Structure 1
Amino acid sequence: MSARPLVIRCGALGDVVLLTPILRLLHARYGEKIDVVGAGDWTRPLLEREPAVGRLQLITSRNTPYWLCPSQWALVHWLKKRGRGPVYCCDSNPAMLALVARAGIPPEDIVHRPSPDDVARAGLHLWPDRWLQMGMRDPMQPYPTREVPDPGVFRFPLLHVTDDDRRDLASWRTVNRLEGPVVLFQPGNKRTHKRGNIATSSHPKYWPPASWAAVADAIWQEQPLTKIVLCGSPAEHGVLEEIRDAAGKDARMFNAARELPVPRLLALLQQAHSLVSVDTGPAHAAAALACPLVVMFGAASPEKWRPIGPGPIHVLGGEKGEASRVRDIPVADVVAAWRRLPVRPQVDLLMP
C-alpha cells in the first residue's frame, strides 16, 4: 500500500491560503487525506481544520544549514520512513529540493510545479489555476486515482473557522468595545511584517498613513458608528500607530497588531463589514472567507496574485506593471471602490 499523497510548499500566509485548492482537489482524486510539508507559524492554524489535510510536517527554515536545523532532520527522517506515494512539490526553492533529494524520494514519484513555459502555454496566470492544473497531473510512477469531472469546483481558496474561534472573537470584541459594524484595514506587507519599520515609503506596497486616515474619515462620514480595526502582526504595531496618529487617535480606530493570532483574524474576516488592504496574505484570507474586499496592487501583477473567492472583490492598481506603486492610487478611487461593495449578509455572532 502506498503512502498518502504529499504536498510540499513553504510560503507566506497568502501562499498557504492559495494552496488550499490543490489540497482539496488531490483529496478528491486520491480519496485520502493529503500530508503537507510547510513552514511558518501561520501554516498550522490555516490548514489544521481543513478536512482534506492529514499530517502537517513543519520546518523552521529551509535555508538554515542542514546540520544546524533539527526540524530539517525530523522532516528527512519522516520522509524516509513514510514510504512511497505521489508527491506534489509546489516549492521550487533549491534548499527544499535538496531536502527532498536527501530524503531519497524517487523522481518518478514527484510532480513538480508548472514551469513559466507551461503557464504561458496553458494561459493560466492565477496561482489557484496553476495549482489545479498541477493537481490533475500524475507522477510517472502510477498510483490509483478517482475521476474528477470538473476540477474547477475547487478553484476558490477555502478556510475554516470554528465555533471556538467565534466565541474567542466575541469575547475579544466585547472587551475592546468593538461591537457593531467593523471595517478592517490591512496596511502592512511582508517587509513590515519582518522589519516592523514605517520607513518603507519606497516599497511598492506602501500607502501613506494620511491616505489610510482619509479613507477612515470617508467611512465615518457614511457610517459614524463603524469601528475601524487596523490589522497586522505584532512587529507592525508601530506601523499601524502611524495611521492612528494621522487619524487623530480617533477612539473608533483600534490597533489590533498585538491581538490577532491567525484563528482570531480568520473569525474577524468572516464577520467584518469589509477589508481594505494592500496586496498581502490577509487579503487572500478575506477572499477565501467571502469578506467584501478592496485590494491595492503595486509592482506585483494582479493577473498573477489577484485574490479570488465567493465574495465581492475590487482590485485597484497594477496597471503599470513593475513600475506600479500603491502610493499612486488616489484616495478617492479607494473610497469609491469601498462604496461599491454590497452590504454583507449578517453573520450570526456567538456570544461568550
Structure 2
Amino acid sequence: MVVRFPAVGDAVLLTVLLNALAERYGRPVHLLSSGEWTPVLLGHDPALSELRLVASRRSPHWLTPSRWSAVRWLRAHRGPVYLCDPDVHGERIIARAGIPEPRLVRAWQHWPGDGIHWADWWLQIAQLDAADVPGPARVPQVPPRPRLVVPAAWHDEAGQWLQRLGLAQRPLVLVQPGHKKTYKRGRLGTGTHDKHWPAQRWATVIRGVLAELPDAAVLVCGSAREAGLAQAIVDAAAVPASQGLVINGAAHQLTLQRLAGLAARAVGMISVDTGPAHVAGAMDCPLVVLYGQAGWKRWKPRSASGRVIALGPCEPSPDAKVMDIEPAQVLAAWHALQREEATA
C-alpha cells in the first residue's frame, strides 16, 4: 500500500515507485491518493491494483465520507504501508486506521536532501522494508524515469481534436506558461510568482520558433480557467497567418488525456516548471523547461527518448525567478533541441 497525495507532476513521478514496488513484491500496488488527475494519469498502469481517492484531507473527518472509506480500507490491509507524504493530513488518516508503526515505511524519514532527483529517491524507497512485513530481498530492475501508460483511444481522440481545430497536418509545438498556482482564489495571479514569465516574453519565443518552423502550429496550453492568460500570449505574439498559427488551446477543453496524446506527436514543448511538463516528458516529447526557486536538479522531467533541456538554477535558490531567463536563452535551447532531435 502506498499513501501519496500528489499534484499532477508528482503523480507522474510516482509511477517510478509504483513500478518498482510492483516488480519487487511480484504484484500490483494499492494506492490511497487524491486529485481528479490521479486516476486519469495512473488508472491504466499495470503496476496499480486498486486506487482509492480522498476528496479532501483538510475538511473535518466527520464531513468527509471518502476519508471514512479510506480508513476502513487501510484497516483491512495487512501488508506494508509506504507513507509518502510528510504532512499531518496523511498522518491523521494513518492514525485513525490504527496502522502499527512496525508496518509503516515512512519515506520522509529517509529523505537525503535536495541533491537527489525524485525518480532516484523513489527507487531507494522501494527497497526499504517495514519491520514486521519485510519484502523480497531483491532490487527492482526499474529505470529511474516515470512512465505513462496511455490507451490508444487517447491518441485517437487527440488526433480528432486537432482535426476539428484544423491543425492535423501541421507540426505541433506546445507552450505551457501556467502552473498550479497561476490561478488562485478565483483570479489570475502570476505576476509575483517566481515561475511567472510575461506574455511579451512568451510571444518573442513563439515568433522565434515560427521563424524556424513557419508551417507549425503553436498551441498555448492550460486549463480552461487559464484561457485568459493563453489568449494574452496569443494576442502578444500577433503572428500573421502566413507565418504560422498560434492557438489558444486552453480555450478548447485541453484535458490531460488530450495533452498526453498531443505531447506524443508534438515536435516539442516549452514550459515553466509544472505538471504538464512531466506529462510531456513521460510521452517522450522533447522539452525546454524554465525553472525558478526550486531549481531543476530534483524536478527535471525525465524521458525514455525525448531530450530535456532545463534553464535556470540547478540547486534550489530562494532568489531565483523564471524572469531571470531571457527569451534568447530559451530560443537557443529550443534550436539546440531541434538540431539534436533531427540528428537522433
Which range, TM-score by smaller chain? over 0.9
* 2:269–2:285 contact (8 Å) kept in structure 1: yes
Question: What is the SS of the residue equivalent to 1:191?
Answer: coil
TM-score (norm 1): 0.90
Q: State the alpha-carbon separation in 1 of the partners of residues 298 and 186 from structure 2.
A: 26
Moved more, 319-328 or 86-95: 319-328
1:139 maps to 2:130: yes
2:146 to 120, 134, 157: 157
The Cα shift of 1:25 comes to: 0.4
* 1:44–1:56 contact (8 Å) kept in structure 2: yes
The Cα shift of 1:303 comes to: 1.7
Letter in 2 for 1:338: W
Letter in 1 for 2:23: A
Letter in 1 for 2:227: H
Gaps in structure 1 of 5+ consecutive residues: 1-5, 346-352
Letter in 2 for 1:93: D
The number of residue pairs the alignment matches comes to 334
Q: State the alpha-carbon separation in 2 of the partners of residues 232 and 196 from structure 1.
A: 16
1:84 maps to 2:78: yes
Q: State the alpha-carbon separation in 2 of the partners of residues 144 and 324 from structure 1.
A: 42
Q: State the alpha-carbon separation in 1 of the partners of residues 286 and 186 from structure 2.
A: 27
Which digits, 9 at most, give the CA deviation of each residue in 1:155-180, with x for residues without a partner? 11000221111111111000001122
1:220 maps to 2:210: yes
Q: State the alpha-carbon separation in 2 of the partners of residues 217 and 196 from structure 1.
A: 31
Q: State the alpha-carbon separation in 1 of the partners of residues 173 and 52 from structure 2.
A: 35
* 1:196–1:238 contact (8 Å) kept in structure 2: no
Gaps in structure 2 of 5+ consecutive residues: none
* 1:184–1:274 contact (8 Å) kept in structure 2: yes
Letter in 1 for 2:105: V
1:104 to 98, 106, 120: 98
Matches within 5 A, 1:127-206: 127-145=118-136, 147-148=138-139, 151=141, 153-179=142-168, 180-195=170-185, 197-206=187-196
Question: What is the SS of the residue equivalent to 2:159?
Answer: helix
Match of 2:336 in 1: 340
Q: State the alpha-carbon separation in 2 of the partners of residues 194 and 83 from structure 1.
A: 37
Q: After TM superposition, what 4+ stretches of structure 1 lie above 3 angstroms from structure 2?
A: 193-199, 342-345
Match of 1:52 in 2: 47
Letter in 2 for 1:254: I
* 1:288–1:308 contact (8 Å) kept in structure 2: yes
The Cα shift of 1:143 comes to: 3.8
The Cα shift of 1:307 comes to: 1.6
The Cα shift of 1:51 comes to: 0.7
Q: State the alpha-carbon separation in 2 of the partners of residues 86 and 143 from structure 1.
A: 8
The Cα shift of 1:321 comes to: 1.1
* 2:223–2:250 contact (8 Å) kept in structure 1: yes
* 1:40–1:58 contact (8 Å) kept in structure 2: yes
The Cα shift of 1:312 comes to: 0.4
TM-score (norm 2): 0.92
Q: State the alpha-carbon separation in 2 of the partners of residues 298 and 63 from structure 1.
A: 28
1:248 maps to 2:238: yes
1:272 to 266, 270, 276: 266
* 2:85–2:108 contact (8 Å) kept in structure 1: no
Q: State the alpha-carbon separation in 2 of the partners of residues 286 and 318 from structure 1.
A: 21
Which digits, 9 at most, give the CA deviation of each residue in 1:244-271, with x for residues without a partner? 1111275611112141211111111111
Question: What is the SS of the residue equivalent to 2:181?
Answer: helix
CA separation of 1:224 and 1:147: change in aligned 2, threshold 3 A = same
Match of 1:18 in 2: 13
Match of 1:326 in 2: 322
Identity of matched residues, %: 39
Q: State the alpha-carbon separation in 2 of the partners of residues 243 and 108 from structure 1.
A: 53
Question: What is the SS of the residue equivalent to 1:299?
Answer: coil
RMSD: 1.8
Moved more, 215-224 or 137-146: 137-146
Letter in 2 for 1:27: A
Match of 1:350 in 2: none
1:119 maps to 2:109: no
The Cα shift of 1:209 comes to: 0.2
Question: What is the SS of the residue equivalent to 1:61?
Answer: coil
Match of 2:293 in 1: 299
Q: State the alpha-carbon separation in 1 of the partners of residues 183 and 47 from structure 2.
A: 29
Match of 2:30 in 1: 35
CA separation of 1:240 and 1:169: change in aligned 2, threshold 3 A = same
Which digits, 9 at most, give the CA deviation of each residue in 1:183-220, with x for residues without a partner? 00000011124456444211100001001111110111
Question: What is the SS of the residue equivalent to 1:184?
Answer: strand
The Cα shift of 1:114 comes to: 3.4
* 2:183–2:189 contact (8 Å) kept in structure 1: no
Q: State the alpha-carbon separation in 2 of the partners of residues 235 and 331 from structure 1.
A: 26
1:231 maps to 2:224: no
The Cα shift of 1:60 comes to: 1.2
Moved more, 26-35 or 138-147: 138-147
